[in-house]
Amino acid sequence: MSTTWHVLGAGSLGTLWAARLARAGLPVRLVLRNEQRLQDYLAAGGLTLVEQGQAQCYPVPGETVHNPEPIKRLLLACKAYDAQAAVASVAHRLDSDSELILLQNGLGSQDAVANCVPRARCISASSTEGAFRDGDWRVVFAGHGYTWLGDPAHPVAPIWLDDLAAAGIPHEWSADILTRLWRKLALNCAINPLTVLHHCKNGELQAHRCEVATLCAELIELLERCGQPAAAEDLQTEVERVIQATAANYSSMYQDVANQRRTEISYLLGHACAVAERHGVAVPHLEQMRQRLITHLDNLGLPSD
């Protein structure tokens, strides 16, 4: 009998994973923050996955964080700024046999979560899959991608990767997940804030090549100085490739701002600038962009932390 997947965070990626695991016949449960959310979910009858225009509903069981049943495998799929509070809400259900898969953007939240539950195993994940919600308990699978998983403390791959294969979730166990996380953070820092400040799609950044190149140069120096040379390799080329490949898309940060949602600035630009300061690396353009973004968010009445 497979271990049950508990999914905490009913956003686009959490819903996408839960629906595909359920479709493969694997035991999965959606963990919701309170009784009202649970009742709303039960009224909807399950999670709806929209793929290539076809919608299919999966009646994934739901429960609240207060359920006393132990959790052995938890997919934490909330935003980075909610991760610590989210895991604290189910800490009473976790023990030394529990495994957490952390599906957060940026860096910083992973350590905060691990400190909350020191006995549990925390596995970091970095995904390039694209999905968005077009309604409550509905997710549209917008772009096939890949998910890298790894655990710097315990490099041996877990046996449940077979579940991901069965669910059709393309993945790879990475012996150096921190390099993956830093690489993605650098890509996000070079693209996402600029799309917000220039109010544009990713492809329109091709008109701001000099600005992109300046940010990439600072990010490369930062990565090399903080012991991540592999993440720095050909960074500008990769940034330009991503801008071109996703030209018609709006970045996740742009979408957050457009939908009046809190951004993950502290775990992207904020983390990069804080690490630069610790290592004595001058990143004036990154810092200036962070300040511009904070001012922009403040003007919109959105949180800037």
Give the pLDDT confidence of 247-258 residue by residue, as tens digits.
998 999 999 999
The DSSP secondary structure of 10-47, one letter per residue, reads -SHHHHHHHHHHHHTT--EEEEESSHHHHHHHHHHTSE
The two three-digit tokens of residue 243, written as one number:
């801008």
Give the pLDDT confidence of 41-55 residue by residue, as tens digits.
999 999 999 999 999
Residues 115-139, mean pLDDT to the nearest whole number: 93
* pLDDT number for residue 2: 86
What's the pTM value of the predicted model, to 2 decimals? Answer: 0.93
Give the pLDDT confidence of 178-224 residue by residue, as tens digits.
999 999 999 999 999 999 999 999 999 999 999 999 999 999 999 99
Percent of the chain with pLDDT over 70: 100
**In which band, very low, low, confident or very high, does the pLDDT at 142 lie, cut at 50, 70 and 90?**
confident
Residues 30-42, mean pLDDT to the nearest whole number: 97
* pLDDT number for residue 214: 98
Catalytic positions:
184
Instruction: Calculate the average pLDDT of the chain.
Output: 96
Distance CA(105)–CA(114), nearest Å, equals: 16
pLDDT for residue 24 is more than 80 = yes
For residue 270, CA distances in Å to 31, 32, 265 come to 30, 29, 6
- Categorise residue 199: left if φ over 0, alpha if ψ from -120 to 50, beta otherwise: left
Residues 124-152, mean pLDDT to the nearest whole number: 92
